Copies of this chain bind each other. A is one copy, B any other.
Amino acid sequence: MIDAQTLQFAKAIADDTRQQIMTHLCCVWLSVSEIVEKLDGRVNQPTVSHHLKKLEEVDLVQVRQEGRSRLYTLNQERVTVCCGRLLVQFAPDYVSNVVPLSQIAPVK
Residues on A lying within 8 angstroms of B by beta carbon are 1-2, 6-7, 10-11, 13-16, 19-20, 22-23, 26-27, 74, 76-77, 79-80, 83, 86-87, 89-102, 104
Contact = CB atoms under 8 A, between A and B. Distances in A.
Contact of A83 (B7, B19, B74, B87): B87
A76 B91 contact: yes
Contacts of A96: 101
Given A7-B14, A10-B19, A80-B98, 17 more contacts: A6-B19, A10-B10, A10-B14, A10-B15, A11-B14, A13-B86, A14-B14, A22-B90, A26-B90, A26-B92, A27-B93, A76-B91, A79-B90, A80-B87, A83-B91, A97-B101, A99-B104
